[in-house]
Amino acid sequence: MKARGVLCVATIVLVAALTAPAGAQVRLLSLVTGGTAGVYFPLGGAMAEIWNSRVQGVRVAAQSSGASVVNIQTLAKGDAHMALVQNDVAYYANNGTEVFAEPGSNRPQPIAGVRGIAMLYPETIQIVTLRNRRINGIEDLKGKRVVVGAPGSGTEANARQILAVHDIFYREMRVDFLSFAAGIDQLRDGNTDVVFITAGTPTAAVTDLASSREVALVPVSDEALQALRARWPFYTRVTVPGDAYRGLTGPVRTVAVMAMLVARADLPEDLVYNLTKALWENLDRLRAAHARGRDLDVSKAVDGMPVPLHPGAQRYYRERGVSR
């Protein structure tokens, strides 16, 4: 984590500690989330509010960050206690693949000590284009200008994998490695044809684009999903509703990864049990923080969990009758 981010966390938790009851033993915890314009940040802030009001003896500071890959690295360095991440990125970290492989040799370098607390909501892979580009399927991307995500990002890995099961490679397109916000600007300005986005829907950047352009989403077929799951088991089916963005002509079937909450393995079992319990028993606050909060369902809290469960979370789910 950058020095400024660490300083910000330290300042927040110091203020929280100073406002705790006199003589109380307070454990200071940090939760790294994502960018302030995304879904992780408001949901993470709501989680911190729940824990600070419902779990005795803790003060949690939610901190903006560079999201999934950065968050895993921050946990591994010991600079945070919990993080919001995509489940595919957690899978890569647990197996030492993709961005977590050794540069050059590509030798797996697993990240130890990351444990799951909860699966949260779908992060939809949205393949965004404009209706006048007449791109109706993944096969139509050959020869096109495509923004696949920032280098080393979860979005870029999703794009590469989806293209791979269609036997399409970067060399067959004009590829730009940009954030989805920058990619949407390129699409608006006519400088690209397609932008891959992995985010909860509706995504503000796409909503903004749809206010001035006729947008379309490229579907992902059942056959492609089966091929993806055979190699990367974290993918799931989702349907973007026809009213998600102005101009869509109907629902669009695509695929998703899942947002999830992870923690360091060295957090005490009782602490994580209390955090997990408070999270699931105060869902109204999460639903008020963002529309994606309505997707949280304790019965699905461990579905597709790509890392070992923290024992504290496991104890809570056992009590609730939730099993993997």
User: Model confidence over 234-284: pLDDT tens digits?
Assistant: 999 999 999 999 999 999 999 999 999 999 999 999 999 999 999 999 999
Do 240 and 265 fall into the same domain? no
Highest mean pLDDT: which range of 19-23, 68-72, 215-219? 215-219
Residues 110 and 222 in one domain: no
Place of tokens 């993709």: 98
Integer Cα distance of 72 and 188 in angstroms: 33
Kindly state whether residues 68 and 93 are assigned to the same domain. Answer: yes
pLDDT of 23 > 60? The answer is no
* Residue 116 and residue 192 in one domain: no
Sign of the alpha-carbon dihedral angle for 62, 65, 68, 72: negative
Specify the higher pLDDT residue, 200 or 96: 96
Are 73 and 173 within one domain? no
Burial 200-218 (b: 16+ CB within 10 A, else e): bbbbebbeebbeebebbbb
Co-location of 246 and 266 in the same domain: no
Domain boundary among 231, 257, 283: 257
- Among 257, 285, 302, the domain-final residue is 257
CA distance 81 to 98: 23
Task: State mean pLDDT over 126-131.
Answer: 97
Q: Decide if pLDDT at 13 tops 50.
A: no
Do 170 and 108 share a domain, yes or no?
no
Q: 250 and 136 in one domain?
A: yes
Residues 53 and 142 in one domain: no
DSSP 291: G
Structural domains in the chain (count): 2
Q: Are residues 152 and 43 in the same domain?
A: no
Specify the CATH number for the domain of residue 242: 3.40.190.10
Q: What percent of the chain has pLDDT over 70?
A: 92
Shared domain check, 102 and 75: yes
pLDDT at 103: 87
Q: Of 204, 228, 257, which marks where a domain is finished?
A: 257
Task: State the residue range of the domain holding 172.
Answer: 124-257
- The three-class DSSP label of residue 186 is helix
Element containing residue 120 per DSSP (H, E): strand 114-130
Half-sphere exposure of 24 (CA within 13 A, CB side): 15
Can you give the pTM of this predicted structure? 0.81
Q: Choose from 69-73, 155-159, 279-283 the range with maximum mean pLDDT.
A: 279-283
Same domain flag for 252 and 129: yes
